[in-house]
Amino acid sequence: MNGMVHLIKGRVFDGTGSAPLEHGVVAVDKDTIAWIGPEAQLPERYRDPDARVLGGDGRTVMPGMIDGHIHVSFGEARSEEELALYTPVEYRSIKAIWNARKVLRAGVTSAFDAATTYNIAASVRDAIEAGMYEGPRLAVCGPQITSHQGLEDSFPSSMQFPPGQAGVLAKGRDEIIELIRLQVKNGVDCIKVSGSSDLAIANAPVGGAAFTADEFNLIAAEAHRLERTCTVHARSGEATRLAAAAGFDWIMHASFIDEEGIELCLKNNIAIVPTLTLLANILESAQGEAGASIIDEFRHEYESACINLRKAYDAGVPLICGSESGWSLVPYGDWHARELEIFVNDIGLTPLQALHAATGAAARLLPQWRDRIGTLAEGKLADILVVDGDPTADVTLLQRPQNIVSVMKGGSLVDIETPIPDRRVWSFEKHRTFLPGWFKYDSRAGRGYLKTH
C-alpha cells in the first residue's frame, strides 16, 4: 500500500457541483488523494486492515471549505477606530495566529485574506506554510489601496492616515504604481483596491467609484504585469462596471451590479464574492441600534444584491462564498458557512450549487493552490471534511460544530475536540471610552439621568 493512512467512507460530494456518490470512499496516501470511487470498486492495494477508516453510513465526505473573504488580522474589531488605532502590531500578529486556528477548525482548509493591517496576513500565511502554526492555506492581500472616496480614509483630514489602518491612501497614478510594486515586494498574492464606499464603515452612499476608469485599468495592468491577481471592493454599479471592464480577477460584493456589469464579468471571466453574511448579521443583530435609516439602507442593499446576483449567476457569472470573518459581527470560527444558506434561501441556488461556490469554484482565489484544492480527485491535496448528515440537502449542517466530525488538511487530521479556551481581552484592544454617556439634568424631576444615545 506504500504509505496509505486513511480510508474515508460515506456519501462523497467531490466539489464540482455534481450529484454526490453514495457509498463512496476516498483513499488518502500521505498528503494526497490517491483514489476516489465507489466503495465496492476499492482497489485491493488499498484494502489494508491497518488503514484508519473515517466516515461511514449517514456521513458525507466533501472538500474542505474555501472562505473567499476573511481578514485574519482584524481581531474581531468593533469599529474602524478599534481596527486602525488600537492594539500594537506585535499583539495583532499573535492574535491573528490564534484566530487562524479557529478558522481551520470550522472546516475552512483554505481562505482568501482580502485586506490586512500592516503586512500581518502574509506573515500568518508563511508561518502556517512553514508548519509553525495551524491554520488554513491562505492567499493574501496587503492593506487595500484606496482614495479619499474609498474605504479606510474614514478619519478626519486633520489627522494623519493611521498606519494601523487596513488600507493605504494613494494620491494619483504614481503612488498607485509604487504601492502595487511595494506590496509585491512584500510578498502579497493579490492586489486589492477599494473601488467604492461602504455604508457599514463610512456611513455614506455606496454609489459612484473611488477611482477613474484609467486608474482601474492601471491597477489591473500593473498587478497582472507583476504576475499577481487583483480584486476590488465594489458595492456600487459604477465601481463594479469599471473594475470588470479593467479585467480585475474577481469582485467583492457587486451588490448593485447591472446588466452592463454582468456582460463585462462574462466577457472577462470575472467571478463575484458577494459576502452577504456580514450584511445579514448586521440586519439581524442591529435591531435599530444604528438608527432606522441606516438599517433601511442595509436592508435595501441586501435585498437588491440578492436580486442582482441571481441575475448574474443565471447569466453565467460564478459566485463564491465568503464570510468577512474578522469583524465583531462575524467572529472567527462561527459564520464561515452561513453564506451557503444565504445563497440557497435568498439568492435561490440549489444546495449543490452553493456547496460548489464554497469549494471547487472558490479555488481560483488561491492561484498558488488552485489546481490542488477545492475538489476531491486523484492527485489533489487531501483537504477533506466528514460531515454528519447530508449537506447536499441541508447546507446549514456546515454551520453546526456538532455536525463537523473530522477536518483533514493535507492528509493530517485537525484536532477539533480539544476546546480553544477563552482569552482575556485587554483594555488596549478596545475603545478608550471611559464615560458611559451624557448625564442630563431633568428640571421637572430635579435630578440627573443617563442618556446613552
- Is 107 within 8 Å of 87 (Cβ atoms)? no
Dist. CA 416–CA 406, nearest whole Å: 7
pLDDT in tens, 124-144: 999 999 999 999 999 999 999
Cα 77–chain centre separation: 16
pLDDT in tens, 4-15: 579 999 999 999
pTM above 0.75, yes or no: yes
> DSSP letter at 361?
G
Q: Is the pLDDT of residue 352 over 70?
A: yes
- Report the percentage of the chain scoring pLDDT > 70: 95
Determine whether 78 is exposed, middle or buried from the number of CB atoms within 10 Å of its CB (0-12, 13-18, 19+).
Answer: middle
Helix (H) or strand (E) holding 37: strand 32-38
- Other CB atoms closer than 10 Å to residue 36's CB: what's the count? 21
Dist. CA 420–CA 333, nearest whole Å: 11
Name the band, by pLDDT with cuts 50, 70 and 90, for residue 208.
Answer: confident
Determine the pLDDT at residue 292: 67
Average pLDDT over residues 203-219: 85
Dist. CA 64–CA 79, nearest whole Å: 31
Helix (H) or strand (E) holding 317: none
3-class DSSP assignment, residue 417 = coil
Q: Is the pLDDT of residue 294 over 90?
A: no
Q: Quick one: cell of 386?
A: 466528514
Dist. CA 188–CA 186, nearest whole Å: 6
The domains of the chain, with CATH numbers, are 65-336 (3.20.20.140)
Q: Is the pLDDT of residue 2 over 50?
A: no
C-alpha distance from residue 217 to each of 173, 191, 222, 239, 241 (Å):
11, 13, 9, 12, 12
Following DSSP, what letter does each residue of 125-174 receive, concatenated? Answer: HHHHHTTSS---EEEEB-SEEE-TTSSS--S-TTSPPPTTSSEEE--SHH
pLDDT in tens, 138-186: 999 999 999 998 887 777 788 888 888 899 999 999 999 999 999 999 9
Name the band, by pLDDT with cuts 50, 70 and 90, for residue 422.
Answer: confident
Q: Quick one: cell of 147?
A: 482614495
Alpha helix ranges (H) inside 237-291: 237-246, 259-267, 277-286
Determine whether 394 is exposed, middle or buried from the number of CB atoms within 10 Å of its CB (0-12, 13-18, 19+).
Answer: middle
Of 224-233, 336-345, 422-431, least confident by mean pLDDT is: 422-431
Determine the pLDDT at residue 203: 52
Q: Average pLDDT over the chain, rounded to whole? A: 93
Determine whether 133 is exposed, middle or buried from the number of CB atoms within 10 Å of its CB (0-12, 13-18, 19+).
Answer: middle
Residue type, 52: R
Residue type, 174: D
Dist. CA 105–CA 4, nearest whole Å: 24
pLDDT in tens, 82-114: 888 888 999 999 999 999 999 999 999 999 999
Candidates 251, 430, 245, 271; CA nearest to 364 is: 271
Determine the pLDDT at residue 450: 78
Dist. CA 380–CA 130, nearest whole Å: 20
- Is 4 within 8 Å of 26 (Cβ atoms)? no
β-strand pairing of 404-409 with 384-388: antiparallel
Following DSSP, what letter does each residue of 74-104 receive, concatenated? Answer: STTBSSHHHHHHSS-HHHHHHHHHHHHHHHH
